[in-house]
Amino acid sequence: MSDPVCKLWGNPDIPLFSKTGDFMLGGIFTLHNNIIKSKFTFQDKKLSFYFKSLNYKEHQFAEAMIFAIEEINNRTDFVPNMSLGYKIYDACSTVPLAIKAAMALMSGAEKAQSSTLPCSQQSSTHAIIGYSASSPTIGISTLVGQFNIPVISHFATCACLSNRKEFPTFFRTIPSDYYQSRALAQLVKHFGWTWVGTIRSDNDYGNSGMATFIKAAEKEGICIEYSEDIYRTNPREKFLKTVEVIKMGSSKTIVAFANIVDLEFLIKELVLQNVTGLQWVGSESWVSAKNVATMENYRIFKGTIGNTGLIKLWEDMFDCSFSALNSKTCTGSENLQQVNNLYTDVSELGVTYNVYKAVYAVAHALHDLLACQDNRGPCMANQKDTLPLQTLQYLKKVNFSVSNGEYVNFDINGDSPARYELVNWQLSVNGITEFVTIGFYDASLPEGKQFIMNNKSIVWASNDGKAPKSICSESCHPGTRKATQKGKPVCCFDCLPCAGGEISNSTDAIHCMKCPLEYRANEEKDQCILKDIEFLSYDEIMGMILIIFALLGTLLTSFVTAVFFKFRDTPIVKANNSELSFLLLFSLTLCFLCSLTFIGEPTQWSCMLRHTAFGITFVLCISCVLGKTIVVLMAFRATMPGSNIMKCFGPTQQRLSVLTFTLVQTLTCIIWLVKYPPLPHKNMNSNKEIIILECDIGSTVGFYIVLGYIGLLSVICFFLAFLARKLPDNFNEAKFITFSMLVFCTVWITFIPSYISSPGKYTVAVEVFAILASSFGLLFCIFAPKCYIILLRPDKNSKKHLIGKVQAKSL
């Protein structure tokens, strides 16, 4: 299983760094990278050419582990009288070598051979620090977990490793991707990006992290336009396809959950095709990697934001060798301060510090074990009896702070608290890409307060320096609601205006809210305002016109009354039954005045008065007309020889008939008012935009009885007048009564459809108009001809003239 290429740079079967101690810690890092440059077939055999390179960052991790162990060994108050040793293996970026290293650490063998640990033998390694990637860590944890050996990773973030059933001995000093994915989703939402593309490594780290991100994004209302997977061994065509998807996408933000090595292949194609102007949001595995943040790559990743062996190393840094075969010999006194690479870069030590904390976590567990602190677990008198299982038990309980005050502890899943720095790619004055901290994320804080921004200026990917907009559809303004487009994600929607009587007062409202009954939506449909109250008022033009006509009718009626009173002794007044004429004029005056009760704001008294006054006065009016009609018919019969009919319908009978007809209507109105009186009512159904203040009739039956009674008397009166229309000219009042009743009935028959179809206050106006029109019809048709003769043709106002006409007709 050994790697022939890796042997050129150092034997992976033996630890590159080791030191004996009372307690042994193992370390597995990728101190060299294996990168397949090309593959070819030779004599039916597939051969690969590998390019080997040092991994400076992983060397820094290994040095951090050694530094922490030496620091602990030099302390007198910590793990007293005991020392920590270490064995650090190089996995050469391959999973098989990582597994071999784990087997060597379990068995205690100096070489990582294929031999396994006998069941009866206990491991001499009390804990393993590493690995830096999730997939190899899964393999290591699965293997060593069977032997209760703790594995503490500084950089394996896959949420799958939190499964305690599968990985019971796994711990980590870096937060799980479960928290990072949620933090990235909230970060995207924080900047208002709801339409994003995603890139992930096609391995445990990328697939698991992206699955958690997508789930969290959906809860935040974020939609995924596309989700592409990449892997270092994919053919170039696959990377070109991914670049094409990115170019064709409409989203301006890309969330990348990928390993550095996988992403470098994609970056190469993005640089070649100059795909710029996109806002990248990165996971911690690459967002603060110096080897990615080159000047060339900055064009692509400008404004990116995200959560944030020694001999060979020396030879490689100073281009020298400790071997005499090399022309340039290393002296060992070379100055590291003159070197600028990832190993000497101490500007981003977050992950490196995780290695330091991992070592201290093991040391604290051993210290508590030996001291039997708080009676947690079995007490061990000396290190020879200490087993990895005891270390594991105490490791679950560690809770301490390191020199910078940061607390280290593990939850029930072996995860450490989720705290992230938010970094932004910015270009320094020297033209170097810097990772500027723009804020922090702390998952332990309450919802909505987990982001703490430090108000530093953020550099964005856009050329105008403004935060990019990455949305599928523009936000729906207040007054509209979102309607999802068919066949598209929920982030793609149309904005539809709220229906009548509904509002939305927030951006991107899903539903419109109905306004309360007494409120209506304003023109923008973003606020409910009180409806206007509508009624036929005195101060509006229509109300004024109706008042003028009502007063005019009253004045005319009063004028006619004065004329009739002045000329009451003249033949024409006497011939037309002056008593009924005066009573008719009085009732017409009341008819004109009762129309005024329909104008103005309805009140309890005005509603009760308007309908009853209308019903009684019109019955009084029609009763008088009916009495006059009967008198005309009786008078004609009385002119015949031997007729004594006028005695049957004299003045007393006339008064009783009018009183009886009016009394019936009065009793009907009283019963109506007592049982179901008309009252003010706010009509909100006829018009959604206004409140119509009207009089509710109370009893529909009572209302129709009152109107029906008036109609019945009108029809009887019209019928009798029609029968008397051919009487002699001196009794031609029947003709005028016939015409007046025709006008009266026509007005009220026309009133019914007009009343029903008129909205709001116009309903009342139509009713007032009908009252005035019918009253004017009676006044003009019955009294205008008589006034004409009295005032303009007094020569015809004589008994001789009336008798002459009768005789002429008789001949």
Q: What is the DSSP string of 319-362?
A: T-BSSTTSSSB--S---GGG--STTT--S--HHHHHHHHHHHHH
Cis, bond preceding 519 (omega within 30 deg of 0): no
What tokens does 373 get? Answer: 């602190």
**How far is residue 155's CA from residue 58's CA, in Å, rounded to a whole number?**
11
- Say yes or no: 139 and 188 in one domain: no
Closest CA to 388 of 15, 25, 119, 21: 25
Strand ranges (DSSP E) for 328-469? 399-401, 407-409, 419-427, 433-442, 451-453
Domain membership of residue 581 (yes or no) is yes
pLDDT value, residue 241: 96
Yes or no: say if 561 and 553 are a contact pair by the CB < 8 Å rule.
no
CA 263 to chain centre: 36
pLDDT value, residue 663: 93
Residue found under tokens 């006497």? 574
**How far is residue 291's CA from residue 341's CA, in Å, rounded to a whole number?**
9
Give the count of beta carbons closer than 10 Å to the beta carbon of residue 482: 21
**How far is residue 703's CA from residue 614's CA, in Å, rounded to a whole number?**
11
Domain membership of residue 394 (yes or no) is yes
pLDDT value, residue 385: 53
**How far is residue 127's CA from residue 169's CA, in Å, rounded to a whole number?**
10
Interhelix angle 604-638/700-723, nearest 10 degrees: 20
- Say yes or no: 500 and 564 in one domain: no
- Say yes or no: 447 and 551 in one domain: no
Yes or no: say if 87 and 74 are a contact pair by the CB < 8 Å rule.
no
- Say yes or no: 635 and 667 in one domain: yes
Yes or no: say if 125 and 147 are a contact pair by the CB < 8 Å rule.
no
User: How, if at all, do strands 279-282 and 125-129 pair?
Assistant: unpaired
Domain membership of residue 345 (yes or no) is no
Radius of gyration in angstroms for the set of CA atoms belonging to the chain, rounded to a whole number: 52
- Say yes or no: 581 and 719 in one domain: yes
**How far is residue 262's CA from residue 606's CA, in Å, rounded to a whole number?**
87
Residue 184 DSSP SS3: helix
**How far is residue 420's CA from residue 728's CA, in Å, rounded to a whole number?**
114
Q: For 404-419, what is each residue's pLDDT tens digit?
A: 777 889 999 999 888 8
Closest CA to 720 of 705, 741, 706: 741
pLDDT value, residue 553: 93
What tokens does 713 get? Answer: 């008397």
- Say yes or no: 86 and 220 in one domain: no
Whether this prediction's pTM lies above 0.75 is answered by: no
Give the count of beta carbons closer than 10 Å to the beta carbon of residue 790: 20
Looking up residue 272, the CATH number of its domain turns out to be 3.40.50.2300
Report the number of distinct structural domains present in the chain.
4
Yes or no: say if 689 and 531 are a contact pair by the CB < 8 Å rule.
yes
pLDDT value, residue 300: 92
- Say yes or no: 59 and 165 in one domain: yes
Residue 310 DSSP SS3: helix
Domain membership of residue 343 (yes or no) is no
**How far is residue 315's CA from residue 59's CA, in Å, rounded to a whole number?**
13
pLDDT value, residue 12: 56
Give the DSSP H or E segment for 23.
strand 23-29
Q: Where are the alpha helices (DSSP H) in 372-476?
A: 388-395
Residue 45 DSSP SS3: strand
pLDDT value, residue 269: 94
The residue count of the chain comes to 811
- Say yes or no: 724 and 602 in one domain: yes
- Say yes or no: 133 and 199 in one domain: no
What tokens does 715 get? Answer: 């029809």
- Averaged over successive runs of 10 residues, the pLDDT of the chain (811 residues) comes to 45 78 92 60 46 76 91 87 91 88 81 49 81 90 92 90 93 88 90 93 90 92 93 93 94 92 92 93 86 88 79 53 54 53 52 88 90 56 64 90 82 88 88 86 82 83 85 91 88 91 90 90 91 88 92 94 88 76 90 90 89 89 84 63 55 82 91 89 82 86 88 86 65 72 84 77 87 90 86 80 50 33
**How far is residue 436's CA from residue 458's CA, in Å, rounded to a whole number?**
9
- Say yes or no: 498 and 599 in one domain: no
**How far is residue 154's CA from residue 137's CA, in Å, rounded to a whole number?**
11
Residue found under tokens 């949001």? 281
Yes or no: say if 104 and 98 are a contact pair by the CB < 8 Å rule.
no
Domain membership of residue 360 (yes or no) is yes
Which residues touch 512 (CB under 8 Å, ≥6 apart)?
Answer: 481, 498, 499, 502, 503, 504, 525
For 494, what's the count of Cα atoms within 13 Å in the CB-facing half-sphere? 7
**How far is residue 140's CA from residue 152's CA, in Å, rounded to a whole number?**
11
**How far is residue 84's CA from residue 769's CA, in Å, rounded to a whole number?**
109
Domain membership of residue 242 (yes or no) is yes
- Say yes or no: 52 and 114 in one domain: yes
pLDDT value, residue 704: 86
**How far is residue 577's CA from residue 768's CA, in Å, rounded to a whole number?**
30
**How far is residue 173's CA from residue 169's CA, in Å, rounded to a whole number?**
14
Rounded to 10 degrees, the C-alpha dihedral 551/557/558/561 comes to 180
pLDDT value, residue 571: 82
Give the count of beta carbons closer than 10 Å to the beta carbon of residue 593: 17
User: How, if at all, do strands 84-90 and 528-530 pair?
Assistant: unpaired
Q: 524 exposed, middle or buried (CB, 10 Å; 0-12, 13-18, 19+)?
A: middle
Q: Which domain holds residue 291?
A: 177-308+419-453
Domain membership of residue 329 (yes or no) is no
- Say yes or no: 617 and 631 in one domain: yes
Domain membership of residue 806 (yes or no) is no
Looking up residue 695, the CATH number of its domain turns out to be 1.20.1070.10
